[in-house]
């Protein structure tokens, strides 16, 4: 399942107390649940780079650490640190 993130959440480390200026990305709860239900890994593109992410790990992290964010139109985003993303094989920009 492919997802394009226009821009990471650069100040996420301040909001959630992460170390080393780690940016985050916000993923819709329903997207994560759909990927989990269908057994699909997420393919995330942001700032010209491609990553993969295990949706179950992302969902569990956000629930455990309480890193949810209510965005526009009451969209619930689960915010995870970009350190959870794995650079996609062959994308070494």
List pLDDT tens digits, range 4-45.
Answer: 999 999 999 999 999 889 999 999 999 999 999 999 999 999
Does residue 93 lie within any of the structural domains? no
Q: Which residues contact 79 (CB under 8 A, 6 or more apart)?
A: 9, 12, 15, 16, 24, 25, 26, 27, 62, 67, 68, 69
* pLDDT at position 93 over 70: no
Does residue 50 lie within any of the structural domains? yes
Tell me the pLDDT band of 92, cut-offs 50, 70 and 90: low
Q: Residue 90's pLDDT is what?
A: 73
Residue 39's domain spans which residues? 2-87
Tell me the pLDDT band of 89, cut-offs 50, 70 and 90: confident
Does residue 45 lie within any of the structural domains? yes
3-state DSSP assignment of residue 79: strand
Count up the domains in the chain and report the number: 1
Does residue 24 lie within any of the structural domains? yes
Residues in the chain: 93
Instruction: Return the percentage of the chain with pLDDT > 90, whole number.
Output: 84
Does residue 69 lie within any of the structural domains? yes
Using alpha carbons, select from 61, 33, 37, 38 the residue that is nearest to residue 82: 61
Q: What is the mean pLDDT of the chain?
A: 93
């Amino acid at each position: 399942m492919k997802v394009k993130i226009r821009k990471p959440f650069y100040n996420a480390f301040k909001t959630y107390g992460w170390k080393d200026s780690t940016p985050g990305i916000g993923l819709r709860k329903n997207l994560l649940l759909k990927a989990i239900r269908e057994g699909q890994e997420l393919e995330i593109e942001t700032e010209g780079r491609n990553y993969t992410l295990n949706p179950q790990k992302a969902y569990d992290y956000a629930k455990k650490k309480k890193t949810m964010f209510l965005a526009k139109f009451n969209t619930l985003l689960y915010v995870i640190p970009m350190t959870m993303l794995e650079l996609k094989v062959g994308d070494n920009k």
